[in-house]
Amino acid sequence: MNAVLQKRKAFPFSLDPRSGVPVYRQIIDQVTGGIAAGALAPGDQLPTVRQLAVDLSINPNTVIRAYRELEIRGVLETEQGTGTFISNQKMRLDEAERQRSLNQLIGDFMARAGSAGFTAEELIEQLQAMQSDGAKKRR
C-alpha cells in the first residue's frame, strides 16, 4: 500500500438508531456514500468486522452482513489475513435502481433536515459548497 493511502484518515462510521433504517443498511449506505463523495477510494482499507462492531457497539454479524452485501455488489474485496478493501470496480446499479436509491436518499435527507429546521434552499447551498470543495481537493 502506498504512503498516501496509509496517511488517509480512518473513515468515520456513525449510526442513527432513530432513523428507522436497519444498522447493516446504514453501514452499506455510508460506504457507498463515502465512495461517491471521494472520502473512500479504491484500495482504502475498512476496519475489521470486530473493530467496527466494537466501535459502533453492535453485533459483529451485522457488520458481516453489510460487508458481505458490499462484496456481492463488487464494492469491497476481502483478502484473507490482510483485510477488507474498497474495490477498483465501479458500483453496478441499473438506472432504475439508481433512481430508486437516489429518490429514497433524497426523501430521507429532506425529512431529517426539515425536522431539524433546514430549508430546501439551505440544503442545496450546502451541497453545492461541498461539491465545489470536493472539486478543489481533487485538483
Res 6: pLDDT: 45
pLDDT class of 3 with cuts at 50, 70, 90: very low
Task: In whole angstroms, give the CA distance from residue 7 to residue 25.
Answer: 28
User: Is residue 5 one of the residues assigned to a domain?
Assistant: no
Print the domain residue range for 29: 10-90
111 and 71: one domain?
no
Q: Which amino acid is at 4?
A: V
Q: What pairs with residue 86 in β-bridges?
A: 76
Residue % of the chain over a pLDDT of 90? 47
48 and 82: one domain?
yes
81 and 47: one domain?
yes
Over the stretch 100-126, which tens digit does the pLDDT of each residue have?
778 878 888 888 888 889 999 999 999
Over the stretch 47-74, which tens digit does the pLDDT of each residue have?
999 999 999 999 999 999 999 999 998 9
Q: In terms of C-beta density within 10 A (0-12 exposed, 13-18 middle, 19 or more buried), how is residue 81 classed?
A: exposed
18 and 34: one domain?
yes
What are the start-end ranges of the H helices in 38-74?
49-56, 60-72
Nine cell digits for residue 9 = 484518515
User: Is residue 1 one of the residues assigned to a domain?
Assistant: no
